Amino acid sequence: MPEPDVDSASPAAPERAPALRRIDWSRLFSPRVVAVVGATDTEGSPQRAQWTQVRERLGALGADVVPVHPKKPDILGVRAYPSVAELPADPDVVVVLVRDPLPAVEEAVARGAGFVIVFSAGFAELGTAEGDAAEARLRELAAGSTRIIGPNTNLNIFEPWQQGLPGRKLAIITQSGYQGRPITQGQVLGIGIEMWATLGNETDIEWADVAGHLATRPGVGVIATYVEGFQDGRAFMLAADACVRAGIPVIAIKVGRSEEGRAMAAAHTGHLTGPDAVHDAVFDQYGVIRVDDIDEVIEISGLFCHAGLLPGAGGVAVYAMSGGTASHVADLCGLAGVPVPHFTPETVAALGEYIPWYLKRDNPVDSGGVITARPENRRVLEIMLDDPNVDVLFAPITGVFPGMSDALARDLIALHERAQAGEGKPVVAAWTSPIRDDDAYRALCAAGVPLFHSFGAAVRGLGELGRFSRLVREYRSPFAPGAETGTGAETEADAEAEAEAGVPRPSAGATTRARALLATRSGALNEVDSKQLLAAYGIPVVAERLTTSPDEAVATATELGFPVVLKIASADIAHKSDLGLVAVGVRDAADVRAAYARLTSTARTAAPDARIDGVVVAEMVTDAVAEVILGLSHQPPFGPTITFGLGGVFTEVFADVAFAVPPFDADRARAVIESTRGVRLLRGARGRPAGDIDALVETIMRLQVLAVDVGDQIAELDINPVMVRPAGRGVVAVDALVIPRR
């Protein structure tokens, strides 16, 4: 096989990703002039209430808020102007409340407005030609410097929030107004709100714009989000990457797991929800924590806001007032993979001074309620937290019991305040009693102690805290320096930093050969051409030759060495083995001639309209540990996406596949392999040797290079099977199909 036409010695991000947009957010958050189109003084109308809201909220920021009304000279005592065009000063923000917003938006753009907020519905979410045309016009108006929020949105972005709450703040991005409201009510748990952006249809300003901005705002601890789809998958990945680098987790409800959810999402905001499994894969790449209900969003967000990130492995010390509670929590932790480490002998001995001999002193601790109300209980908690194997303490409060629940709450608050001052480790509580009208409960909320209302949610949160903390410590951005600003790697230092991404860069030769092959056919490439495309990027392919006569086939088989495999070569026949167009284990010249005659005859009968290019004679791989499939397809909204799974005849039977979206590094490629059930075959099973997983990782990385380099020209690529040989002997692609994008 020829040497790969890829420079793997100098790895780099395969291609510059699109930059996050530069937006002057000050014109939105610190405006000088704000116009409200559709403001009215009509009693009981929603426009009157909205006008009053904007005037009060932005007026408090020092903005000059003026109404726009075609007939009324003033609105509630404030001079009105008949149109945006007639405003005395260029507006920073224009809020459009009228049913037909397009004329007002056009005027706002002409006046150089910084932002236009379109409250009105009736756009692409309708699924009608009229709605699509209206949204297309909005998109045209957003082509310049004016940014548009909406349509089909509201004014939550200007809402004031309770000040003075402890910890870092929660920022909220939703594509639905009412789905965000209960999240903001997490203030009763002591969670401060930084901002709530509702984006509606995202004709212009999209999720990635806001999240990328929030990653730069000091004091933001978490982004909570309800989304139905992303406009630009690459922009989402850039924003999520910025959040990880800033140490800010994203807690997401993403609809689209079911057909019903996908249908409703399209009707609601016009979003394409995209393949759900691919969303999960991208979320995993960037540490996005996907949850299913709003309670989880609120409580896990509060945990990150109030506890911060952990420095260690996420070891949890469990303090329970009963053995049953300790057992229950330990069981849930075990199922969720949350570490509950043993205490050191020194910790166990220290606890022995306070905990009676008949109660458990190792982790999890069972106090039996004996010491919970005593002054020395705080010392017990301190000893647990001081254990070197522990990063966080979890104390479930299983019921309101005067003298115990209130005493434990006081101790937890004191330890939490010590941690907030940088002098201790975080504590987390679960209040599982239905009684919330309790002084101890209110005190925990006011202090900002991370609080859950079920054991299961608490364990989920603790697990995510440990995982995200580890991700932030180990994270290497797959995007090259300057990607988010579009500067590129123009210095030697930048080039060295790019190499940390761990992704090989294609050579000019690979790109030239690939484009030439993709341009040769109006339809699919045949097997030989498909494998030549793979070989251009250093993906190992089986030794083979296309033959057009029995004599040529015999000569090739003799050169390669028996036994060999013969296959019909035709871009028009995707699954040759199903039609009997593959001969395996052909052992001598006579068998080659017979197989050649049989294959060509069968092809003419089974696929009379197919173009037959000849017969492929290939070496036969006899030492494979396992067969896997590698694929490339376009998955909205992310674009070229790589698929890995169990291959051969088992691909469709088991559907054991995983996904990765470029750019990613070798660690992610390995994680994709490890996430499948089929990895047990690759590790060696029932006496079989282990497969060459390292070579498989390298092959996935090279397929990524191909995907980023020419993936936009490929509709679909399947390499099935890839034969995985024993460790140290590599992998080899024995069949491939490439369908160019036309």
Give mean pLDDT, residues 43-62: 92
**What does 273-298 look like in DSSP terms, one character per residue?**
---HHHHHHHHHHTT-EE-SSHHHHH
Give mean pLDDT, residues 560-567: 96
Nearest-CA neighbor of 739 among 514, 521, 512? 521
Distance CA 90, CA 35 (A): 9
Of 227-241, 454-468, 481-495, the range with the lowest mean pLDDT is 481-495
Q: Where do the domains of the chain lie?
A: 1-12+506-541+621-742, 26-149, 163-306, 309-474, 543-620
Per residue in 175-194, pLDDT (tens digit) is: 877 788 999 999 999 999 99
How far from each other are the two terminal CA atoms of the chain, in whole angstroms? 30
Tell me how many degrees the CA angle 274-276-282 measures, rounded to the nearest 5. Answer: 90
pLDDT score of 487 = 32
pLDDT score of 192 = 97
- Give the up-direction half-sphere exposure of residue 144: CA atoms within 13 A in the CB hemisphere: 14
> Does pLDDT of 88 surpass 90?
yes
Looking at the chain, the whole-number percentage of residues with pLDDT higher than 90 is 72
Centroid of chain to Cα 583: 44
Those residues whose C-beta lies under 8 Å from the C-beta of residue 30, and which sit 6 or more positions away, are: 61, 62
Burial code of 559-588, b = ≥16 C-beta within 10 A, e = fewer?
Answer: ebeeebbbbbbbbebeebeebebbbeebee
Give mean pLDDT, residues 319-334: 94
Distance CA 250, CA 252 (A): 6
Distance CA 88, CA 85 (A): 9
Distance CA 332, CA 89 (A): 61
Looking up tokens 């029995």 gives: 550
Q: How many CB atoms lie within 10 A of CB 440?
A: 23
Per residue in 447-473, pLDDT (tens digit) is: 999 999 999 999 999 999 999 999 999
Give mean pLDDT, residues 503-525: 80
On the question of a cis peptide bond just before residue 721, with omega within 30 degrees of 0, the verdict is: yes
> Does pLDDT of 42 surpass 70?
yes
Distance CA 340, CA 698 (A): 36
pLDDT score of 267 = 45
CATH number, span 543-620: 3.30.1490.20
The phi and psi torsions of 726 (rounded to 5 degrees) equal: -60, 155
Distance CA 542, CA 531 (A): 9
Distance CA 367, CA 359 (A): 7
Q: Give 259's pLDDT tier (boundaries 50, 70, 90).
A: low
- Whole-model pTM: value is 0.89
Those residues whose C-beta lies under 8 Å from the C-beta of residue 318, and which sit 6 or more positions away, are: 326, 329, 330, 333, 340, 363, 364, 365, 393, 394, 395, 396
Centroid of chain to Cα 598: 50
pLDDT score of 272 = 40
Of 107-121, 250-264, 624-638, the range with the lowest mean pLDDT is 250-264
pLDDT score of 178 = 76
The better pLDDT of the pair 154, 211 is held by 211
539 touches 699 (CB < 8 A): yes
Give mean pLDDT, residues 361-376: 90
Query: What does pLDDT average to over the chain?
Result: 89
Centroid of chain to Cα 720: 27
Per residue in 694-730, pLDDT (tens digit) is: 999 999 999 999 999 999 899 899 998 999 999 999 9
pLDDT score of 688 = 84
AA identity, residue 54: V
Q: Where does residue 601 rank: exposed (0-12), middle (13-18), buried (19+ CB within 10 A)?
A: exposed
Q: Give 489's pLDDT tier (boundaries 50, 70, 90).
A: very low
> Does pLDDT of 28 surpass 90?
yes
Q: Which of 265-269, 379-383, 610-614 has the highest mean pLDDT?
A: 379-383
Q: Which residues pair with 198 in a beta bridge?
A: 174
Alpha carbon of 396 to those of 290, 362, 465: distances in Å?
24, 17, 17
* Class of 26-149 in CATH: alpha beta
Same fold, 163-306 and 309-474: yes
Give mean pLDDT, residues 268-277: 55
> Does pLDDT of 274 surpass 70?
no
Q: Give 649's pLDDT tier (boundaries 50, 70, 90).
A: low
| From the candidate CATH numbers 3.90.1150.10, 3.40.50.261, 3.40.50.300, 3.80.30.20, the one assigned to the domain spanning 163-306 | 3.40.50.261
Whether domain 309-474 has CATH 3.40.50.261: the reply is yes
Distance CA 641, CA 711 (A): 9
Distance CA 556, CA 230 (A): 52
The CATH superfamily label for domain 1-12+506-541+621-742 reads ATP-grasp fold, B domain (3.30.470.20)
The DSSP secondary-structure symbol of 726 reads B
Q: Give 504's pLDDT tier (boundaries 50, 70, 90).
A: low
Summary count for the chain: helices (H), strands (E): 25, 29
Distance CA 291, CA 457 (A): 10
- Give the up-direction half-sphere exposure of residue 266: CA atoms within 13 A in the CB hemisphere: 11
Q: Give 648's pLDDT tier (boundaries 50, 70, 90).
A: low
Nearest-CA neighbor of 230 among 265, 193, 187, 267? 265
